[in-house]
Amino acid sequence: MITAEKVTVRFGDHTVLDAMDFRAPQGQISGIHGRSGTGKTTLLRVLAGLQRPDAGTVLIDGGPAAQVGSIAMLDQHPRLVCNPRWSLTRIIREPADIARRPVDPVSVAEGVGLDPELLTRFPAQVSDGQLQRACLARALVQRPRYLLCDEPTAMLDPIATADVAELLRSIEVSGTGVVLVSHDPDIISELCSTTTELR
């Protein structure tokens, strides 16, 4: 269980999260929605241990937020987080290489619906949706207990959106906890066991 208690984040005199409580169990999809600028990405960054809150605590299965391997984050902007000089194979396999674990990029790519023929390409040579799938593959290679997804379908057409929804469901079924930020009310109501609205 991810347990955030009384989390407060301020940027200057702007309080983005004000003593917020949030919970996300393993094996479920927990949704977060709300208008632009209400702090959804900020909350994910706090849960991932990437942003230190000004007050409050985050525990992952009772331990510190930044436990290695416990959390992977799927960023809203894959082009900003992928090294443009790396092939998709290298992007996908890097977490396994760091952990000195074997990985088969072809089967991982197939698992997220990414055509393995694209694996030798670089980010500039694939579409946004294809790069998002490579990022999802990279996240899954980390075998996280929790996967935090920031608007994973924002750049996708309806068919690709349905594919990603199906993937998130299978990730949930495998026992991983998914936290899903989305502006799409259909995705939230279709996939999420619980929903938190930020205002």
Ligand X SMILES: Nc1ncnc2c1ncn2[C@@H]1O[C@H](COP(=O)(O)OP(=O)(O)OP(=O)(O)O)[C@@H](O)[C@H]1O
Give the binding range for ligand X (CB under 6 A) out of 36-44, 55-63, 102-110, 167-175.
Answer: 36-44
**Cβ-based nearer residue to ligand X, 94 or 128:** 128
**Cβ-based nearer residue to ligand X, 10 or 101:** 10
How many CA atoms lie less than 13 Å away from 50 in the CB half-sphere?
A: 12
**Cβ-based nearer residue to ligand X, 103 or 154:** 154
Name which position in 42, 132, 153, 161 contacts ligand X (CB under 6 A): 42
Q: Which helix (H) or strand (E) holds 145?
A: none
**Cβ-based nearer residue to ligand X, 94 or 184:** 184
Going by C-alpha positions, the residue among 44, 42, 33 that lies closest to residue 11 is 42
Q: Under a CB-based contact definition with an 8 Å cutoff, are residues 17 and 46 in contact?
A: yes
**Cβ-based nearer residue to ligand X, 42 or 161:** 42
Tell me the closest approach of the beta carbon of residue 169 to ligand X, in angstroms. 23
**Cβ-based nearer residue to ligand X, 33 or 93:** 33
Going by C-alpha positions, the residue among 39, 16, 14, 27 that lies closest to residue 196 is 39
* 11 interacts with ligand X by CB under 6 A: yes
For 155, phi then psi, to 5°, come to -105, 10
Give the binding range for ligand X (CB under 6 A) out of 19-27, 30-38, 98-106, 110-118.
Answer: 30-38
Going by C-alpha positions, the residue among 103, 113, 105 that lies closest to residue 89 is 105
**With contacts defined by CB under 6 A, how many residues of the chain interact with ligand X?**
10
* 26 interacts with ligand X by CB under 6 A: no
Name which position in 31, 39, 105, 177 contacts ligand X (CB under 6 A): 39
15 CB neighbour count, 10 Å cutoff: 13
Q: Which helix (H) or strand (E) holds 33?
A: strand 29-34
* 41 interacts with ligand X by CB under 6 A: yes
* 16 interacts with ligand X by CB under 6 A: yes
Beta strands (DSSP E) in 62-165 are 63-64, 71-74, 146-150
